[in-house]
């Protein structure tokens, strides 16, 4: 049995789709579905699983041995809002909850794959290398990033990472992110801006070494993320790994690719960046992927032009934009 926490969320439900694609259905989803207005539940509606358990009762079920035969826990569940202001909530929900799951996996010899975040790198001044020895040099810029950093450090110091795989996701986009609101990807927002207004708004640059729209990120298609996780399930590789493409692409290139997927000419409006963001804004992020490659993952990553085309044409433009086990190509 495989358990996916955060299994109704963006990456979690995409991983359920990936496992369904491989013919696996003995999977328990752990999550909080929240209000029906977000339609988060729809992420699960076309997929197959054995059970859905509320996240609040899951740790207690683990502690009393109510769930038997667990071979792996894919721990994607967290409050992923970089603007969350309740630090105690993030400490309990992201750090404390993760410690309980990791402790169970170590005691019961279950495979653990968990979500860390590129937010742990802060402003990037110490680089984007996933060398475990550099953990203590990182300085996250927000409490979300710090909650992930806390767990990475705890997992390292307690020997968890000798048996588990932690994943530092960079800028993920793709189907089933629709419930995320302001935390949804730039691609998702760009698609709707083009549909509604015919144009896209991007931030102006406030640094002389970057032109407007040429700030860059490492954008990765969610299906590349799930291929990496599936590979980690099949191969007992351990440690902390970046999950990006290793290639930095500009917001302007992303916007142009979205227009192209919609067969429209680019119309981009550059707007001033809010002053509250200017001191914290990252102009460059790019995952160093050498460690995962050296571990043996050698599949190519999806170019943003190809990923955005598929996302826009097969999902966002569809009457049913959700991942569906019946269409597991």
Task: Choose, from 121, 144, 178, 221, the residue flagged as catalytic.
Answer: 144
Q: What's the confidence (pLDDT) of residue 192?
A: 97
pLDDT at 328: 61
Tokens 């015919």 locate to: 198
If we measure between CA atoms, which residue out of 176, 207, 173 comes closest to residue 187?
A: 173
The catalytic residue among 99, 100, 180, 189 is 180
| pLDDT tens per residue across span 19-75 | 999 999 999 999 999 899 999 999 999 999 999 999 999 999 999 999 999 999 999
Q: Is 144 a catalytic residue?
A: yes
Q: Is the Cβ–Cβ distance between 155 and 135 less than 8 Å?
A: no
Count Cβ neighbours within 10 Å for each residue of 227-260 and write b for 16 or more, e otherwise: bbbbbbbeeeebbbbbbbbbebbbbbbbbbbbbe
Task: List pLDDT tens digits, range 132-183.
Answer: 989 999 999 899 999 999 999 999 999 999 999 999 999 999 999 999 998 8
Between CA 135 and CA 153 the distance in angstroms is 7
pLDDT tens figures, 158-167: 999 999 999 9
Cα separation, 171 vs 299, whole angstroms: 19
**42-67 burial code (b ≥16 CB/10 A, e <16):** bbbebbbbeeebebeebbeebeeeeb
Is 100 a known active-site residue?
Answer: no
Q: What's the token pair of residue 250?
A: 């500009």
Over range 109-124, report the average pLDDT: 95
Number of continuous H segments (helices) and E segments (strands) in the chain: 12, 13
pLDDT at position 280, please?
A: 77
Contact 177, 185 (CB under 8 A): yes
Which residue would you say has higher pLDDT here, 278 or 5? 5
Q: Judge whether residue 329 has pLDDT over 80.
A: no
User: pLDDT by residue (tens digit) across 307-318?
Assistant: 999 999 999 999
Q: Confidence class of residue 327 from pLDDT cuts 50, 70 and 90?
A: confident
Q: What is the pLDDT of residue 320?
A: 95
Q: In the predicted model, is pLDDT for residue 278 greater than 90? A: no
Closest CA to 8 of 69, 66, 71, 51: 51
C-alpha to C-alpha distance for 121 and 138, rounded to whole angstroms: 6
For the cut 80, the answer to whether the pLDDT of residue 107 exceeds it is yes
Is 261 a residue whose pLDDT tops 70?
A: yes
- pLDDT tens-digit map of 192-246: 999 999 999 999 999 999 999 999 999 999 999 999 999 999 999 999 999 999 9
251-256: list long-range contacts, CB under 8 Å, 24+ apart.
251/186, 251/202, 251/203, 251/213, 251/214, 251/215, 251/216, 251/217, 252/202, 252/212, 252/213, 252/214, 253/304, 254/186, 254/187, 254/190, 254/219, 254/304, 254/308, 255/190, 255/200, 255/202, 255/213
């Amino acid at each position: 049995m495989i358990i996916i926490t955060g299994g109704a969320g963006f990456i979690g439900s995409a991983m359920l789709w990936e496992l369904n694609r491989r013919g696996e259905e003995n999977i328990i989803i752990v999550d909080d579905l929240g209000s029906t207005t977000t339609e988060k539940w729809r992420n699960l509606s076309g997929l197959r699983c054995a059970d859905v358990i509320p996240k609040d009762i899951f740790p207690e079920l683990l502690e009393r041995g109510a769930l038997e035969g667990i071979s792996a826990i894919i721990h994607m569940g967290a409050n992923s809002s970089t603007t969350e202001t309740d630090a105690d909530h993030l400490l309990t929900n992201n750090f404390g909850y993760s410690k309980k799951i990791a402790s169970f996996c170590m005691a019961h010899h279950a495979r653990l794959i968990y979500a860390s975040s590129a937010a742990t790198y802060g402003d990037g001044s110490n680089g984007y290398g996933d060398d475990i020895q550099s953990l203590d040099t990182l300085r996250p810029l927000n409490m979300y990033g710090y909650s992930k950093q806390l767990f990475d450090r705890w997992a390292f110091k307690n020997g968890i990472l000798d048996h588990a795989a932690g994943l530092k996701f960079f800028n993920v986009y793709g189907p089933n992110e629709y419930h995320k609101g302001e935390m949804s990807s730039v691609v998702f927002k760009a698609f709707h801006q083009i549909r509604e207004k015919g144009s896209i708004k991007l931030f102006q640059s406030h640094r002389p070494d970057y032109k407007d729209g040429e700030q860059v990120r490492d954008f990765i298609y969610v299906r590349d993320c799930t291929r990496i996780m599936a590979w980690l399930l099949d191969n007992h590789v351990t440690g902390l790994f970046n999950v990006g493409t290793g290639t930095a692409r500009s917001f302007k290139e992303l916007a142009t690719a979205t227009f192209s997927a919609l067969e429209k000419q680019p119309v981009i409006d550059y707007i001033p960046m809010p002053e509250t963001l200017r001191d914290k804004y990252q102009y460059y992020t790019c995952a160093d992927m050498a460690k995962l490659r050296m571990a043996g993952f050698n599949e190519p990553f999806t170019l943003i032009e190809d990923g955005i085309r598929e996302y826009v044409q097969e999902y966002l433009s569809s009457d049913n934009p959700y991942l569906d086990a019946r269409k597991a190509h």
